[in-house]
Amino acid sequence: MSFLEISGLRKAFGDFLAVEHLDLQVEKGEFVSLLGPSGCGKTTTLQMIAGFLAPSKGDIRVNGHSILAQKPEKRGMGIVFQSYALFPHMTVAENVRFGLEMRGIKQSDCQLRVAETLEMVRLQGLDARYPRELSGGQRQRVAIARALAIRPAVLLLDEPMSNLDAKLRSEMHIELRAIQRQLGITTILVTHDQTEAMTMSDRIAVMHGGKIVQYDEPYAAYERPVSAFASNFLGKTNILSGQVSAQDGSTCMVQLQSLVVQVPCQGATLKSHVDVYIRPEKIRLAPHAEGRLTGRVITRLFLGDHWVLEVDTAHGPMRVSVPNIGKLTVQEGEDIGLTWADTDIRVLNKEQPHGH
């Protein structure tokens, strides 16, 4: 039995089905991200766990007990909102103490808990300041401290990093993950940022159209996507269309115009039309005459830790990611070869409804 179990969860708003038969199991102390685009049902799911929305159908259990009949404040959930929702008229310490006082915890214990929690999020010495006197990152830490102070059974995070700049966001990923591990709090994060989900999570639930289309550890979800949607949403990918020309057990030969690749069949059958997927970082540059594919560099972008090339080929544009281990000598307008290992390719049957 998992610590947090969601079964058959459904939420309809009139004729619109926001969440459709959603099942999810989260172990105690696990960090799980609900990842997907706007409108996929991830925030609606979080609000049902928190108790702000009643499900149309289904059940939510914590430690084996249904919580549907419990009011939000009785569910033992710590919540960090996108807007932080701090009380502007209260100091940092008063904001963090608020949830403890609502639970009737005595004053001396409150003070100790507030001090411990502010130290945990590196805000000691700022307890007398008001939210308006804090930076965005500090306000976010106060919101996290307020949620953690009550020592929740489950921590719910609703896109809490979206208002931070990129550098601060990546720092908070590391900090929040370290705090979560230290306390062992079961955590659900809602995000549309795949880097955020992969950085912080034990498992990722990729959502699309009100359903979970893949639930996996970050590496497995990225390397072995089960649908076109999952492949495209979890990072960049190149797509080549072809047809299965031969099959030997679980291995298929796929004809991509003049190019033949050998891939795990993954449900593809002889003569079926398939899409072949390869990540930009799996492609290596080769001399023009030695490439499995040849093409001309149309665009070259430098992004600090890597270069991105857009290469025009007979199969259409291909994106290539090259790690920055020195100056890249390939120039725009240059003809080059592209190569890769067949083990880096993924295939999906075109007849499969993508994303479902």
Joined together, the tokens standing for residue 274 give 């398939």
- Is pTM beyond 0.85? Reply is yes
Joined together, the tokens standing for residue 65 give 């007990």
Neighbour-count burial for 337-348, b at 16+ CB within 10 Å, e otherwise: bbebeeeebbbb
* Residue 298, pLDDT score: 97
Joined together, the tokens standing for residue 55 give 């499900």
CATH topology of domain 284-339: OB fold (Dihydrolipoamide Acetyltransferase, E2P) (2.40.50)
Closest listed residue to residue 291, CA positions, set 265, 324, 333, 320: 320
Per CATH, 237-279+342-356 and 284-339 having the same topology is answered yes
* Residue 350, pLDDT score: 66
Q: Does domain 237-279+342-356 have CATH number 3.20.20.70?
A: no
* Residue 136, pLDDT score: 84
What residues of the chain score a pLDDT lower than 70? 350-356
Q: How far apart are CA 44 and CA 338, in angstroms?
A: 43
* Residue 126, pLDDT score: 92
Q: Domain extents for the chain?
A: 4-232, 237-279+342-356, 284-339
* Residue 251, pLDDT score: 86
CATH topology of domain 4-232: Rossmann fold (3.40.50)
Q: Is 305 exposed, middle or buried (0-12, 13-18, 19+ CB in 10 A)?
A: exposed
Given a contact cutoff of 8 angstroms between Cβ atoms, the answer to whether 132 and 86 are in contact is no
Joined together, the tokens standing for residue 241 give 């269309």
* Residue 167, pLDDT score: 82
Closest listed residue to residue 208, CA positions, set 177, 235, 190, 233: 233
